[in-house]
Structure 1
Amino acid sequence: MAPVNLGKQHPAAYKSVLELNKEVEESVAQAGLDPKLAELVKIRVSQLNGCAFCLRMHTRDALDKGESTDRLAVLAAWWESQYFTGQERAALALAEEVTHLAEPGRHEWDNGSLSDEQVSAISWLAIVMNAWNRIAVRSHYSVAP
């Protein structure tokens, strides 16, 4: 069976995810989170999910927003580098926890650098990014040079 493009088969469901994405982006901004941090979260979630389409898109978005190639190069091992702030480290750990569906609760990411509003915004960002990754991977979106 050929790949099925989920968005084309059920455009109303796809549109709902687009609307959720818009709401989450607004929540991230209202929580005072740096747009580059949002892109780092999107990229890290996409790395964990193996979504080439979203990795390419959000890496380009991050670069357009001024992210450095050095930080992008070490993002997959963020905890081992000194490139990321306490808040960024907390956000990345939280996004990984949401992506891996770990037991809910405050864990190593809870270093006090994220407000409750920011924890919620990053959690929603990881949730919606997981949805996009699954849509793109399941639909076999083309990722060619």
Structure 2
Amino acid sequence: MQERVNIGTQDPASYQALLALSEAAQQSAAAAGLDPLLVELVKIRTSQINGCAFCLRMHTRDALQKGESPDRLAVLPAWAETGYFTAPERAALQLAEAITLVSNDHVSDDHYATAATELTQHQISAVAWLTIVMNAFNRVAITSRYAVTARAAM
């Protein structure tokens, strides 16, 4: 694999701005009352769609440390086919998928209406910002080809 420029270190001001946006999105999610596990699920599902191994590893570990179940993480790519997720979680995951795949349906009225039946306006906004930020981080990691290798057991 050809080594790439790490765009985060090459342009630290832009990367710091993204980190600040991420922190603001996290604060908004907390203020909206989103469960920290749902926040991680949104990040993981977004990263699954984008195929970002670096962010998947990081946020899966974060979710497990926060108490997320391995079963829910295992079925997350097929969340719509399971009974593991609550109606608000399903609405948030559907919205995150629609935002990540914006070129497909431009976040359809149906997707928005589903979210609006289960989430407050503040929560919809928080999920949207979390997803937007995660998409940006995925693109930074993928473009820079952040290394993802197995770690030796300790």
What's the TM-score bracket when you normalise by the shorter of the two chains?
Answer: over 0.9
- After TM superposition, the structure 1 = structure 2 runs for residues 73-92 of structure 1, keeping only pairs within 5 Å, are 73-92=74-93
The count of residues paired between Structure 1 and Structure 2 equals 145
Deviation digits for residues 18-59 of structure 1 (CA, Å, limit 9, x no counterpart):
000000000000000000000000000000000000000000
Mean CA deviation greater in 79-88 or 110-119: 110-119
Tell me if structure 2 keeps the 8 A contact 1:28–1:121: yes
Identify the structure with the greater helix proportion: 2
Distance 1:105 1:115 in 2: 18
TM-score (norm 1): 0.96
| Amino acid in the other structure paired with 2:21 | L
Question: Partner residue of 2:22?
Answer: 21
Distance 2:121 2:52 in 1: 29
Question: Partner residue of 2:96?
Answer: 95
Q: Does 1:140 align with 2:145?
A: yes
TM-score (norm 2): 0.91
CA RMSD, aligned part only? 1.1
Deviation at 1:104, TM superposition (A): 3.8
Instruction: Please state whether the residue corresponding to 2:91 is helix, strand or coil.
Output: helix
Deviation at 1:64, TM superposition (A): 0.5
Q: Which runs of 5+ in 1 are unaligned?
A: none
Q: Which runs of 5+ in 2 are unaligned?
A: none
Tell me if structure 1 keeps the 8 A contact 2:115–2:124: no
Identical-residue share of aligned pairs (%): 57
Distance 2:32 2:3 in 1: 42
Distance 2:62 2:22 in 1: 15
